[in-house]
Copies of this chain bind each other. A is one copy, B any other.
Amino acid sequence: MDPLSQTFSALADPTRRALLAKLSIGDANVSDLAKPFLKDMSLPAVTKHLKVLEKAGLITKSKEAQWRSCKINAEPLQHASHWMEQYRAFWEESFDRLDEYLKTMTAKKKTKGKKHGRKK
């Protein structure tokens, strides 16, 4: 599977997103990560989710005695985010506003390296 698909696929599950959220606070081992989910699912289920995240490159694991410390790795998120940027114009401005902007720019004859104006 291509990396982008793998990233999106890994993110398409609320349990895995919650695991990432937890890891964004700080590194944690498997049983600590699993604790909030053990009402809803078994430990092997969490292990599987972590394996999905690991294969997608969203986390890395390191051994220490019998504990596996998990660490978030946001690089795939960056790539996914970058892919989404392609569509930013579609939600950030209406096309009327974009059109308006383009007209303004032509009128001004490209006055400076002004960036595509975000509403503030």
Say what secondary structure dominates the interface of chain A: helix
Q: Distance (Å) between the CB of A80 and the closest chain B CB?
A: 7
Is A74 positioned at the interface, with any CB of B under 8 Å from its CB?
A: yes
In the complex, what's the smallest C-beta–C-beta distance from A3 to chain B, in angstroms? 11
Number of residues from A at the complex interface, CB < 8 A:
28
Report B-chain residues with C-beta under 8 Å of the C-beta of A2: 14
Give, as a whole number of angstroms, the nearest-CB distance from A40 to chain B: 14
B5 and A14 contact, CB distance less than 8 A: yes
Instruction: State which of B13, B74, B90 has its C-beta within 8 Å of the C-beta of A90.
Output: B74
Chain B hits for A4, CB < 8 A: 14, 17
Interface residues of A (CB under 8 A from B): 2, 4-6, 8-9, 11-14, 17, 20-21, 24, 72, 74-75, 77-78, 80-81, 83-84, 86-88, 90-91
